[in-house]
Amino acid sequence: MLSAAQIDEFYQRGYVILRKIFSAEEIGEMESAIARLQHQALGLEGKVEKEGSEFVIQHGLLERVSWAGAAEPVLLRYGRDARLTSPAAQILESYHAHHLINQVHLKLPGGGFYRWHQDSGHRGYGTADWEDVNGKGSYVQTIIAVDEATKDNGPLMFIPYSCKAGHLDLPYDKNKQTVSDKFNPADAVPALMQPGDVAFFGPYTIHGSEVNTSDKPRRVFINGFAYPGANRKKYPGRGELVRLV
């Protein structure tokens, strides 16, 4: 459970990081599932649907797996673990949410660039796909660190307090860094996490990450929950309504 101060931190600074939430053994189970996903992706290229999950492979390297829990049910189980959903319930002030995202980012050496963005853009803010029905973002993204995130392996970076301005309609180009006078990248703070730590952030928090310049992967396991009624977009997987607490 989050304290009142942590909920405040989430809505003011835009993110909160909880330490040592999943044990080394549990992270080991997630790692094994990710290794099996990598095995399933061997020989694939581009965006490929397999076993209900969507694999994205570029130049032979697995970049991410969306709705990973279809191919690896253990990841669906962890994605709905109370240690994620209870804080999500507190943040959303809802007993239920649509489980939209259940995704692994592998960030293998040399890869894994994610330009500065707000998740509200990905959700479809300003289109028929998305409505901020609770007026507080209506969405929470949770990121479990599977590997240690260091300065060299492309850690997730947040722009603190960027959420305060709401949706900023930042320019979109997947492969180029986002340049906008609406935020200053020099304000970015890296989320240096240990395996088992979890970051929670809202849809208006500007975040991104650079290429992994180390020689090991920087894997994270991401689960996203939308306030009932906010989403109308079809996601890989079922995006079903789940009970949070």
Helix, strand, or coil here: 151?
coil
Instruction: Identify which of residues 85 and 209 has a Cβ nearer to ligand AKG in the complex.
Output: 209
Q: Among all residues, whose Cβ is closest to ligand AKG? A: 209
User: Using only C-alpha atoms, what is the Rg of the chain?
Assistant: 17
CB of 4 to ligand AKG, least distance (A): 26
CB of 56 to ligand AKG, least distance (A): 12
CB of 149 to ligand AKG, least distance (A): 8
User: In this structure, what are the phi and psi dihedrals at residue 175, rounded to the nearest 5 degrees?
Assistant: -95, -5
Q: Is 29 in contact with 5 (CB distance < 8 Å)?
A: no
User: In this structure, what are the phi and psi dihedrals at residue 47, rounded to the nearest 5 degrees?
Assistant: -100, 115
Beta strands in 78-138 (DSSP E): 96-105, 114-117
User: Rounded to whole angstroms, how far apart are CA atoms 134 and 220?
Assistant: 28
Instruction: Identify which of residues 95 and 172 has a Cβ nearer to ligand AKG in the complex.
Output: 172
Packed helices 4-12 and 82-92: angle between N→C axes, nearest 10 degrees: 70
**What sign for the dihedral angle of Cα 208, 211, 216, 219?**
positive
Instruction: Identify which of residues 70 and 206 has a Cβ nearer to ligand AKG in the complex.
Output: 206
Q: Token digits for 229?
A: 């009624």
Instruction: Identify which of residues 27 and 143 has a Cβ nearer to ligand AKG in the complex.
Output: 143
CB of 224 to ligand AKG, least distance (A): 8
Binding footprint of ligand AKG on the chain (CB under 6 A)? 105, 114, 119, 141, 143, 156, 207, 209, 220, 222
Instruction: Identify which of residues 48 and 108 has a Cβ nearer to ligand AKG in the complex.
Output: 108
